[in-house]
Amino acid sequence: MSKKSKVEEMEEELNGVPTNENPELSEKNESADHGVEEDEEVSMEDRLREDLAKEKDKFLRLFAEFENFKKRTSKERMELFKTAGQEVMVSLLPIMDDFDRALKELSKSEDKEMFKGVELINIKFRETLKSKGLEQVEVKEGDVFDAEIHEAITQIPAPNKKLKGKIIDVVEKGFKLGDRIIRHPKVVVGN
């Protein structure tokens, strides 16, 4: 066997090639290298677990956000369907008022056939609107005034103490479409 020079031994050590002259030193280097590899594997495994946990958390949050979005848009869509014809319904309300006035005047006339004909048309018209979700807001004289539901157009002195803060007269009927009031009943309130 040839002896290696000190320079060659140092080069081999720097290059990572173990020297054959000192087997103890060589075994220590191998076990140290093996321990470093195990530490790297463990830390790499820990990092991968952390990354997986982060990605799983992101996925769950994104999934929950998407579910909330679906629920919200579904609810908005249902509201839109319920009130889609609101503009048309609001424009038909004055016609309903005119029908009521016409029926009141026709009931005074002697031509009962014309009254019955107009009354049938009025009933059919109201039933059609009712099938589309239009309902009249029920208001009676003597009901308690509620600013959420009623629109007070004026206040007059109450004829008696029982009618104080209550509805004395209904000037214009109110209507709601589904759960939403599209025209508040106009009332006179006693004070």
Together in a domain, 115 and 163? yes
Q: DSSP of 30-64, one letter per residue?
A: HHHHHHHHHHHHHHHHHHHHHHHHHHHHHHHHHHH
Together in a domain, 97 and 167? yes
The per-residue pLDDT for 31 is 52
Q: Does residue 30 form part of some domain?
A: yes
The per-residue pLDDT for 162 is 87
Q: Which of 167, 127, 131 is nearest to 149 (CA)?
A: 167
Please give the Cα distance from 156 to 171 (Å, whole number).
Answer: 14
- Mark out the alpha helices in 109-181 (DSSP H runs): 112-131
Local confidence band at 160 (pLDDT 50, 70, 90 cut-offs): confident
* pTM attached to this predicted model: 0.56
* 8 pLDDT above the threshold of 60: yes
3-state SS class at 132: coil
What percent of the chain has pLDDT above 90? 49
The per-residue pLDDT for 131 is 92
Residue holding tokens 């009332």? Answer: 187
* 172 pLDDT above the threshold of 50: yes
Per the structure, the complete domain to which residue 73 belongs is given by: 19-82
> In 10 A of CB 103, how many CB atoms?
14
Together in a domain, 101 and 137? yes
Domain end marker among 63, 82, 101 = 82
Together in a domain, 127 and 181? yes
Please give the Cα distance from 47 to 155 (Å, whole number).
Answer: 75
Give me 38's structure tokens: 């195990």
Low-confidence winner among 4-13, 19-28, 75-84, 108-117 (lowest mean pLDDT): 19-28
Beta strands in the chain (DSSP E): 134-137, 151-156, 167-172, 174-177, 180-183, 186-190
The per-residue pLDDT for 40 is 74
Residue holding tokens 């005119």? Answer: 98
Q: Which of 160, 161, 162 is nearest to 143 (CA)?
A: 162
* 23 pLDDT above the threshold of 60: no
* 1 pLDDT above the threshold of 50: no
* Structural domain count, the chain: 2
Please give the Cα distance from 147 to 137 (Å, whole number).
Answer: 14
Of 27 and 59, which is predicted with more confidence? 59
